[in-house]
A and B are shown apart, each in its own frame.
Chain A
Amino acid sequence: MKPARFAYFQPDSVDEAVACLRENGGEARVLAGGQSLLVLMNRRQIRPTALVDLKRVRGLDYLVRDGEGLRIGALTRHIDIENADDPQIRTAFGVLPESARLIGHLPIRTRGTFGGSIAYADPRAEWCLLAVLLDAEVVVVSEDGSRTVPAKDFFTGAHQSAARWDEIVAEVRFPHPAPNAALVEFGIQQGDLPVVAASAAVDLDARGRIASARIALGGVADRPVRANGAEKAAVGSVPDGRLLDHLAQLASKELDPPADPRTDGHDRKELATVLVARALRASIARGATAGTGATPRTGATPGTSATAGTGRQADHQKAEDR
């Protein structure tokens, strides 16, 4: 179908955009890449009275190292993150370019934006998951100024966020490097949003024990969630296979995934167990190789999200065979 009619605005700056948004009241929407918004509008699931197109707004597409952290401008496209060639980003935030490859297909990634995905707040989306895993902060801007919301408080439900109707997501800040972070996922088809995604960032101490572990899951609740119990239980342990499986079960036990038309909650709990174990293994494998001066530009390391890609390819083939 075609979208219903709307008033169209193309402001030249963030200031103009937020003014325009407020002027048009709560029924206006912000258009960035449009790869989710236009689907909803084509289906007429939503009928915004006005669109505030950010295409003329300059200076919101960037990946900038900030001290040891990373700041990503909201209009940075998925493809720009996938192709980020700064070796420091590849080393400290390699999980970002790797996960970008899992988002949609290339023609979606050339248009869709990082900030758009965060603002859309899909509980399965890779960027939302990684924002929660890596304790990112979301910078939102309105006519009243800007404020910073921790990712764990930003996502408040399926496609719901702490951003008010008159606010625009301007930037996401990842405060700390995460060289060991890994993301794995299971989807029905390549390019689809995953059914369940799991991510982990494990740091080992000098004796090879787990110094800290962060585990986050997507697709198992109305927003990305951290597995706090499993994270706590991990600290101080030797990361052998038995422990990782145990942690994965702990993480899964904390979940109560709602049923959806395609899968019931039980399916996704099982998936979560498997995927958390894989994510933990991938993260630990990455930690083990990090000290060897591995070249940061060589795409995906075996065992990280590339594994997920291959896995999904296999699943995709199965789907085609049917």
Chain B
Amino acid sequence: MTAPSDTAPERLPDLVSDVASEPEPAPIPVEVTVNGDPRALSVEARRSLADVLNRALGLPGTQVGCELGACGTCTVLVNGEPARACLMLAVQADGTEVETVESLARDGRLNALQKAFSEKYALQCGFCTPGFLMLATALLRKEPDASRERIRESVSANLCRCGGYSQIIDAIESVATAGADATAGDAIPGDAVPRDATPGAEPTTAAEPTPGTDARS
């Protein structure tokens, strides 16, 4: 995902006209590492992290739903922990490391968790999917063998209104029990049969994460 230049302060159009007449406070400098890239920004203090990811950093994957912290579709990882990007001002993210759904796929290939969501029909409209993916990423990084009950409890943080909880839990559980490293882009069960694979070899075995590809775990 390419983003706008890091050097120019990013200015956003006014979102709410009823305050357009009020004097605009000076933008606040923010240094934040997003998906591994250090970014220097200048943002108005009232911008949420979600809006700045979407609009200033060119990362549209983080969805904005209720903006009240209830639905969880804006869930991102801040310093490795899940957080609501709508209930965090971008200025509060200064000095942190933020990971969004864009960090999951590598070179256009879905990671194990994303693949599992696809295979298990864990999405219909897809609006909630980025939030669930990040929530599950945090869970599986901490508890790679999370039980179904733990997964159930964890996904209760986010709303899916297509009603796909069972499938979402199935998808996360399949990655958890597969023992695959959900955070490594290369560990994709059933994906990309290795070039030197013996004909007839079982392709659904979870690939070993390539050493050094996952700097975070």
Question: Footprint of B on A, CB under 8 Å?
Answer: 1-8, 10, 31, 34-35, 38-39, 41-43, 51, 53, 55, 79, 104-108, 110-111, 190-191, 313, 316, 320
Listed by A's residue number, 9 A-B pairs whose Cβ atoms lie within 8 Å are A1-B16, A2-B16, A6-B25, A6-B45, A105-B158, A106-B154, A107-B72, A110-B82, A110-B83
- Cβ B88 vs Cβ A111 within 8 A: yes
For A51, A104, A106, the residue with the greatest tally of chain B CB atoms inside 10 Å of its CB is A106
In whole Å, how far is B2's beta carbon from the nearest beta carbon of chain A? 26
- Cβ B82 vs Cβ A2 within 8 A: no
Assembled-state Cα–Cα distance A6/B67 (Å) = 18
- Cβ B84 vs Cβ A108 within 8 A: yes
The chain A residue sitting closest to B94, CB to CB, is: A55
- Cβ A1 vs Cβ B67 within 8 A: yes
Q: Does B125 make an interface contact (CB < 8 A)?
A: no
Assembled-state Cα–Cα distance A2/B82 (Å) = 21
Please give me the 4 A-B residue pairs with the lowest Cβ-Cβ distance, nearest first: A105-B157, A8-B45, A110-B81, A107-B82
In whole Å, how far is B40's beta carbon from the nearest beta carbon of chain A? 16
Q: Does B91 make an interface contact (CB < 8 A)?
A: yes
**What B residues does A79 contact at CB under 8 A?**
81
**What A residues does B157 contact at CB under 8 A?**
105-108, 191
The range of chain B's interface size is 35 or more
- Cβ B68 vs Cβ A6 within 8 A: no
A35-B87, A39-B87 known; A2 and B156 CB under 8 Å?
no
**What B residues does A191 contact at CB under 8 A?**
156-157
- Cβ A34 vs Cβ B89 within 8 A: yes
- Cβ A2 vs Cβ B51 within 8 A: yes
Q: Does B135 make an interface contact (CB < 8 A)?
A: yes
Assembled-state Cα–Cα distance A313/B22 (Å) = 46
- Cβ A43 vs Cβ B82 within 8 A: no
Q: Does B162 make an interface contact (CB < 8 A)?
A: no
Which of B69, B78, B91, B165 is within 8 Å of A53, CB to CB?
B91
**What B residues does A1 contact at CB under 8 A?**
16, 67
Assembled-state Cα–Cα distance A191/B155 (Å) = 11
**What A residues does B91 contact at CB under 8 A?**
8, 10, 53
**What B residues does A6 contact at CB under 8 A?**
25, 45-46
Which of B24, B51, B84, B156 is within 8 Å of A111, CB to CB?
B84
A6-B45, A107-B82 known; A34 and B68 CB under 8 Å?
no
A35-B69, A39-B68 known; A5 and B46 CB under 8 Å?
yes
- Cβ B92 vs Cβ A55 within 8 A: yes
**What B residues does A10 contact at CB under 8 A?**
91
A39-B68, A110-B81 known; A4 and B156 CB under 8 Å?
no
Assembled-state Cα–Cα distance A105/B84 (Å) = 10
**What B residues does A105 contact at CB under 8 A?**
72, 156-158
Assembled-state Cα–Cα distance A53/B157 (Å) = 26
Assembled-state Cα–Cα distance A316/B153 (Å) = 11
For A3, A4, A7, the residue with the greatest tally of chain B CB atoms inside 10 Å of its CB is A3
**What B residues does A107 contact at CB under 8 A?**
72, 75, 81-84, 135, 157
- Cβ A38 vs Cβ B153 within 8 A: no
Assembled-state Cα–Cα distance A190/B165 (Å) = 15
- Cβ A43 vs Cβ B156 within 8 A: no
Q: Does B28 make an interface contact (CB < 8 A)?
A: yes
Q: Does B48 make an interface contact (CB < 8 A)?
A: yes
Which of B45, B67, B83 is within 8 Å of A42, CB to CB?
B67
- Cβ B72 vs Cβ A5 within 8 A: no
The chain B residue sitting closest to A189, CB to CB, is: B156
In whole Å, how far is A199's beta carbon from the nearest beta carbon of chain B? 22
Assembled-state Cα–Cα distance A38/B94 (Å) = 17
- Cβ A3 vs Cβ B82 within 8 A: no
Q: Does B180 make an interface contact (CB < 8 A)?
A: no
Q: Does B86 make an interface contact (CB < 8 A)?
A: yes
A1-B67, A5-B24, A38-B87 known; A316 and B81 CB under 8 Å?
no
**What A residues does B22 contact at CB under 8 A?**
5
The chain B residue sitting closest to A35, CB to CB, is: B87
- Cβ A5 vs Cβ B87 within 8 A: no
Q: Does B197 make an interface contact (CB < 8 A)?
A: no
- Cβ B83 vs Cβ A111 within 8 A: yes
